[in-house]
A = this chain, B = another copy of it.
């Protein structure tokens, strides 16, 4: 799966969109890598992000998976377009016990309207990565000129 971006500045586009997401700053997530059809996001452990047992909250894990999928897909979209998540499904595989969450997403199919993506979330503990969650997502490209921006 080697993808060719439709715009030269695909990386800038993704970085700018990530920067505009105040929620990423609020939780402390970092955009670590963007390649055509690929995205990696990191999130260091903070007590504020935990569920009842002190592990990373499932909502945080799904946030990272959804965002990595979104930006991996966005990297392949046209210049004057936005992106919206249509849906995603996430399996929680191991508890989020560790110092860093790592989400990596890869595009499976980049269609004219819809993009299908898989994102895996790993938990880093004592230097060892473990699969924490696995997801599969559908995203839609929205042309910026169109009035359908908020209507899928």
Contact = CB atoms under 8 A, between A and B. Distances in A.
Given A87-B138, A134-B108, A59 B64 contact: yes
Interface in A60-80: 60, 62-64, 66-67, 70
A47 interface: yes
Q: How many copies does the complex hold?
A: 4
Nearest to A17: B52
Contacts of A31: none
B90 A88 contact: yes
Query: Looking at A47, A94, A113, which has the most chain B CB atoms within 10 Å of its CB?
Result: A113
Q: Size band of the A side of the interface? A: 35 or more
A112 B59 contact: no
Query: Looking at A20, A22, A51, A140, which has the most chain B CB atoms within 10 Å of its CB?
Result: A51
A91 to B, nearest CB: 4
Q: Interface of chain A, helix or strand or loop or mixed?
A: mixed
Contact of A95 (B59, B62, B150): B150
A150 B140 CA distance: 17
A33 B47 CA distance: 26
A144 to B, nearest CB: 11
Contacts of A48: 22-23, 25-26
B136 A91 contact: yes
